[in-house]
Amino acid sequence: MRILKNNFSINKKELIKINSSLRKMIKKGAFINGPLVKKFEKNFSQKNRAKYCVGFSSSSTAISSVVNILNKKKKEILIPAFSPIPVAASLKNYNLNIRYLDVDKETFLLKSNLQNEIDSKTGIIMLVHLFGNVFDINSLKKKISSKINIIEDSSQAHFSKINNKYVGSNSFASIFSFYPTKNLFAYGDAGCVTTNNQNFAKKLRAYRNYGLHPSIDKLLNFGNNFRMDEFQAMILSMNLKKIFRFNALRSKINDYYKYHLSDLPIQFQKIEKNVKSNNHVFSIVVDSKYRNRLNKFLMNSGIGTSIYYQKLLPSFTDELTETKLKKNFPNAFSLSKSIINLPIHPSLSLKELDYICKKIRIFFKND
Ligand SMILES: Cc1ncc(COP(=O)(O)O)c(C=O)c1O
């Protein structure tokens, strides 16, 4: 059996719809940041219950825009060491001062006593809602000065909930990626920012379009070309209609794995009671002595696993040695050596799930 990491299926009706929208788009000659982007922004903000949504060419360009507009170059931005490379790259490329923090070994998110890490240099905190789990931004807000900006990287948490509210619905700036492997995906690169601040939304709209004022020939702020394509916006509006169904399927797969693997020497990501994860990634944490062998065994059995993240962010940007990483970021370091992600795309069949669980059981039985 061969089980893919991701599976992109499309039905005939959707193909016909794409074809007809594409014809209209070409006829109109509107390819970038046009009516379909506007329509998606409206659709997404309505569904997500945020006041404003601003489309971008990717989450990376959206992150860069948000932090550049906040303009805290002399200060530090705090981010988790256990995150994907674009989280650091989109800041480093703009010479921002990054301070990495260790994560909680159970939730894989920044630690809940994060306020203890704040000092006079702290300008921005970027929470990363990893694998669909959600950091409690409201409880953090109560503990820190309002001069510190808290922003959210929700690239992996579309329609995850905390205290019954969608991620990004109640935030100054929440950044989403629509990269093809995400829960809500485009057929290429795309991203967005949701915000409840009208003035900030206006600045973002200008920033993604070189910094230009929307109607007159004037610069609002220096910006870049970070606009969303019409084609991607059209695909996103189409996929947005399926997001709740897809997230519900992921939730069932998550439950299936947990039910069938819970007696094995495996740890699952801890999701607090007030959080409903969108199950973007299903990870298992095993003793590091098993990790590479188990991963190889699963791959040789035709199962599309992945490992997020073998290299911690400080080892890319600050070239820290293993000894330093282990000392400064013990939990992140341990996760990087013991985690494996199993397939969780919505089109996984029961037969495939059963096969994956059986293979994992065989591995531990034979060890
Ligand atoms: C948490 C997080 N932030 C940022 C990104 C970057 O997204 P994009 O590829 O849309 O720039 C990703 C995608 O991998 C991500 O998972």
d(CA 232, CA 28) in angstroms, rounded, equals 16
Q: Tell me, what's the pLDDT at 73? A: 87
Pocket residue to mutate for ligand 1, from 65, 67, 155, most atoms within 8 A of Cβ: 155
pLDDT at 320 over 90: no
User: Relative to the CA of 60, which ligand 1 atom is closest?
Assistant: 11
pLDDT at 215 over 90: no
- In sequence order, what are the residues at sequence separation of 6 or more whose Cβ sits closer than 8 angstroms to the Cβ of residue 312? 81, 82, 100, 320, 325, 329, 332, 333, 336
Give the model confidence (pLDDT) of 180-212 as tens digits: 999 999 999 999 999 999 999 999 999 999 999
- Does residue 60's CB lie within 6 angstroms of at least one atom of ligand 1? yes
| Per-domain residue ranges of the chain | 12-240, 243-366
Instruction: Give, using CA atoms, the residue closest to atom 12 of ligand 1.
Output: 155
Give the model confidence (pLDDT) of 164-181 as tens digits: 999 999 889 999 999 999
Q: Tell me, what's the pLDDT at 218? A: 87
CB 361, CB 329: distance < 8 Å: no
Please give the helix or strand (H or E) that residue 359 lies within, else none. Answer: helix 350-366
d(CA 45, CA 53) in angstroms, rounded, equals 5
Cα separations (Å) of 119 from 144, 147, 172, 355? 10, 12, 21, 50
d(CA 193, CA 206) in angstroms, rounded, equals 13
pLDDT at 115 over 90: yes
SS3 state at 331: helix
pLDDT at 65 over 90: yes
SS3 state at 361: helix
- Does residue 179's CB lie within 6 angstroms of at least one atom of ligand 1? yes
**pTM of the predicted protein model:** 0.97
CB 77, CB 91: distance < 8 Å: yes
- Does residue 156's CB lie within 6 angstroms of at least one atom of ligand 1? yes
Round the average pLDDT of the chain to a whole number and report it.
96
pLDDT at 41 over 90: yes
Do you find a cis peptide bond into 179, omega within 30 degrees of 0? no
What is the distance, to the nearest Å, from the Cα of residue 110 to the centroid of all Cα atoms in its chain? 14
User: Residue 228 gets which letter from DSSP?
Assistant: P
- Does residue 59's CB lie within 6 angstroms of at least one atom of ligand 1? yes
The most confident of the ranges 91-95, 238-242, 316-320 is 238-242
Length of the chain: 367
Task: Give mean pLDDT, residues 292-308.
Answer: 97
pLDDT at 361 over 90: yes
CB 122, CB 76: distance < 8 Å: yes
> In this structure, which CATH number among 2.120.10.30, 3.30.1700.10, 3.40.1710.10, 3.90.1150.10 belongs to the domain 243-366?
3.90.1150.10
Pocket residue to mutate for ligand 1, from 179, 181, 184, 309, most atoms within 8 A of Cβ: 179
- Does residue 155's CB lie within 6 angstroms of at least one atom of ligand 1? yes
User: Relative to the CA of 129, which ligand 1 atom is closest?
Assistant: 1
SS3 state at 265: coil
Q: Tell me, what's the pLDDT at 94? A: 85
CB 269, CB 131: distance < 8 Å: yes
d(CA 62, CA 76) in angstroms, rounded, equals 19
Q: Tell me, what's the pLDDT at 273? A: 97
Instruction: Give, using CA atoms, the residue closest to atom 2 of ligand 1.
Output: 155
Query: Domain 12-240: which CATH class?
Result: alpha beta
Instruction: Give, using CA atoms, the residue closest to atom 15 of ligand 1.
Output: 155
CA of 51 from ligand 1 middle (Å) equals 23
The band of 95, judged by pLDDT with boundaries at 50, 70 and 90, is confident
pLDDT at 225 over 90: yes
CA of 86 from ligand 1 middle (Å) equals 6
Q: Tokens for 320?
A: 């820290």
CA of 195 from ligand 1 middle (Å) equals 18
User: Relative to the CA of 83, which ligand 1 atom is closest?
Assistant: 1
